[in-house]
């Protein structure tokens, strides 16, 4: 859609991907950006830069509250919906995970239909595919998921598809791979490992890998993932899922070695018995062709450069990862 003079609501906009999306939206010719977030995992400080732009407004609200959602979506031309429980939280609290990830998304969808929102960009995940059966994983890859989190994303995509056909909802589903970068903490089961490896390496201690280190993922820098959301807002395609990754697979051993090199850590990587459950993905790499062809999106930042950005951000913002108490 043409974003000129539009109002865009970003639900979950104080989180990792959301806050970067808001930063990039301030570079677009939009009229207003409304961030809607209950700050359970997001941080208001992540919006500090964005708040210097008068068009950015913050509303503290919950996707479980249809009345609150309606109040902000009523005036929106487009919505980016990112609020969700991540994998470990969904596993620990499946009913709450369903309520937030599925019912919450349904609330957003209903509000978008009721208020004739022109475009909804939904944060899905490559978790829908589970472990790779074929590589690279195209959008036609079977839904081989085995965990609660992935199930909530599959359910939400099924509901979006139905809402498109029944009620004319215009949407795209963004299947991000593993998103890392500035503002990341410990919450993500896969990228939390990266945070902990940095913690150890910066203290000069061995980064620890549980398993043989051969688990391999497609890591995309959050700036790139956020830019994909902007591409998706600007595009016209609808009722479609898109992989948002780099197409490059990197093993945890390789990630650990890069972190040692970037931090100057001399201690070797230590391998300990795997603790991961069988429902976690051990092998993932996305095909990037559809996003490139239809959204005009390609990732631009190589992993080493992205990890260096993360290292610099951690050094400048130790409070954000709990290493000190207050923001500088
Ligand atoms: N980070 C990744 O690697 C990754 C990969 C694939 C998909 N995703 C998806 O992308 C989306 C964003 O992920 P993220 O890493 O930025 O997570 P995040 O936890 O940093 O962001 C989620 C945001 O939603 C907010 N939120 C949570 N519950 C809410 C509620 N009930 N009402 C309103 N706001 C609420 C949180 O406060 C937070 O700001 C999620 O839907 C996630 O499933 C993330």
On whether the pTM is more than 0.85, the answer is yes
Ligand 1 touching residue 217 (CB < 6 A): no
User: Among 41-45, 96-100, 181-185, 277-281, which stretch is predicted with the lowest mean pLDDT?
Assistant: 277-281
Q: Exposure pattern of 153-165 as b/e (b: 16+ CB <10 Å)?
A: bbbbbebbbebbe
Ligand 1 touching residue 137 (CB < 6 A): no
Separation of alpha carbons 237 and 295, rounded Å: 8
Ligand 1 touching residue 100 (CB < 6 A): yes
Alpha carbon of 84 to ligand 1 centroid (Å): 5
For 136-173, the pLDDT digits (tens) are: 999 999 999 999 999 999 999 999 999 999 999 999 99
The pLDDT, as a whole number, for residue 65 is 97
The pLDDT, as a whole number, for residue 68 is 96
The pLDDT, as a whole number, for residue 101 is 98
Strand-pair category, 78-81 with 56-60? unpaired
pLDDT(36) > 60 = yes
Sign of CA dihedral 143, 218, 92, 46: negative
Q: With pLDDT > 90 as the criterion, what percentage of the chain qualifies?
A: 91
Q: Which residues contact 265 (CB under 8 A, 6 or more apart)?
A: 200, 201, 202, 204, 205, 206, 207, 259
- Domains in the chain with CATH codes: 7-178+222-244 (3.40.50.720), 180-217+249-284+300-321 (3.90.25.10)
Separation of alpha carbons 302 and 221, rounded Å: 8
The pLDDT, as a whole number, for residue 279 is 84
Please report, for residues 9, 107, 112, 122, 230, the alpha-carbon distance to residue 65 in angstroms, rounded to integers and kept in the order given: 15, 8, 14, 18, 26
If phi > 0 it is left, if psi is from -120 to 50 it is alpha, else beta; for residue 121 that is beta
Q: Exposure pattern of 9-25 as b/e (b: 16+ CB <10 Å)?
A: bbbbbbbbbbbbbbbbb
Ligand 1 touching residue 280 (CB < 6 A): no
The pLDDT, as a whole number, for residue 157 is 98
């Amino acid at each position: 859609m043409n974003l000129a003079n539009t109002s865009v609501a970003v639900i979950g906009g104080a989180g990792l991907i959301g806050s970067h999306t808001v930063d990039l939206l301030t570079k677009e010719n939009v009229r207003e950006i409304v961030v809607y977030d209950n700050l359970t995992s997001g941080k208001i400080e992540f919006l500090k830069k964005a708040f210097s732009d008068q068009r950015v407004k913050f509303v503290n609200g919950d996707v479980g509250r249809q009345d609150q959602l309606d109040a902000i979506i009523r005036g929106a031309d487009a919505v980016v919906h990112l609020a969700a429980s991540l994998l470990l939280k969904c596993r620990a609290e499946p009913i709450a995970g369903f309520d937030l990830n599925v019912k919450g998304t349904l609330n957003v969808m209903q509000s978008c239909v009721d208020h004739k929102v022109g475009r909804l960009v939904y944060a899905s995940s490559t978790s829908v595919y589970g472990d790779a059966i074929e590589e690279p994983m195209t959008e036609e890859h079977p839904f081989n998921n085995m965990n609660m989190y992935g199930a909530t994303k599959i359910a939400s995509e099924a509901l979006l598809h139905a809402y498109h056909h029944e009620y004319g909802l215009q949407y795209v589903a963004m299947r991000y791979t593993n998103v890392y970068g500035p503002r990341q903490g410990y919450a993500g089961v896969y990228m939390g490992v990266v945070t902990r490896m940095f913690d150890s390496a910066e203290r000069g201690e061995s980064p620890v890998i549980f398993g043989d280190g051969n688990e391999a993922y497609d890591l995309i820098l959050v700036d790139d993932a956020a830019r994909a959301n902007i591409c998706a807002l600007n595009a016209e395609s609808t009722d479609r899922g898109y992989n948002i990754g780099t197409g490059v697979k990197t093993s945890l051993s390789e990630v650990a070695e890069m972190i040692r090199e970037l931090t100057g850590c001399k201690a070797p990587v230590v391998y300990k018995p795997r603790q991961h459950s069988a429902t976690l993905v051990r092998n993932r790499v996305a095909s990037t062709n559809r996003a490139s062809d239809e959204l005009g999106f390609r990732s631009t930042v190589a992993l080493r450069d992205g990890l260096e950005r993360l290292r610099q951000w951690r050094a400048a913002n130790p409070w954000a990862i709990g290493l000190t108490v207050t923001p500088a």
